[in-house]
Amino acid sequence: MKYFLFFIFLTGSFSFCAGGNIKIKLNQDLSGEMSIYQKKIKKKEGGTFLGSGLNSISETEVVLKERLYRFNRLTEILPPGIRFIEYKEEGEDLKTILMFVDTSSGSKLLTALEIDRKEVLGMAKEAKDRDDLYRFNTLAEHIQFELFFPFEIKSISFTEQRTPGEWTARNDGSGKAVINLPLHSFWNNEYATTGIVIKYRD
């Protein structure tokens, strides 16, 4: 999501962008599409008059923005802070995609996704204070990747141990893999890079 967040304080109103997903849909030849989803919440005091006896307190708008990209081969794309390598180990009938993400505090991925620490934490606090908004922003403090393969995924795992629950590398079945990376780890510079191994049968 990109996680894209920017607080814009206006007179009697504010806006911030939060949460979101990076989705990659692959074809048989590893061409495909990458989508980045950005969720923005706008709130302003007051609002539309609805009738006598009703005091308008505020209006909140949730907007979903998509940025769509196409590519010829997954292993040839060079988005900031992300790399993909495909290989097949000798004697193994499975293929492997190794995904590297720059998870350092200086990661260019954070810049590309317009992530700002103060804004993320502010968005998370606002969302948690509002149950009705929280469901839109449960991943405001993570970067999430969703990968859709036209193949059967046999396994997915981190190359090095990560804290379960905070870090997720999950096979959801039907060719879908989900990866969640906690933003606090980026900011604290816990790991320079993070590797994810995805094994599949084409």
Pairwise CA distance, residues 104 & 194, whole Å: 9
Q: Does residue 52 sit within a domain?
A: no
Tell me how crowded residue 161 is: count the other CB atoms within 10 A of its CB.
8
Q: Does residue 196 sit within a domain?
A: yes
Which amino acid appears at position 34 of this protein? Answer: M
Please tell me what DSSP assigns to residue 29: T
Q: Does residue 12 sit within a domain?
A: yes
Q: Does residue 133 sit within a domain?
A: yes
Q: Is 55 exposed, middle or buried (0-12, 13-18, 19+ CB in 10 A)?
A: exposed
Q: What are the tens digits of pLDDT across the range 59-99? A: 877 777 789 999 999 999 999 999 999 999 888 899 999 99
Number of domains composing the chain: 1
User: Is 0.85 topped by the overall pTM?
Assistant: no
Q: Does residue 30 sit within a domain?
A: yes
Q: Does residue 1 sit within a domain?
A: no
Q: What are the tens digits of pLDDT across the range 12-39? A: 444 455 545 799 999 999 999 999 987 7
Q: Does residue 91 sit within a domain?
A: yes
Tell me how crowded residue 97 is: count the other CB atoms within 10 A of its CB.
22
Q: Structural domain of residue 175, as residue ranges? A: 8-46+57-201
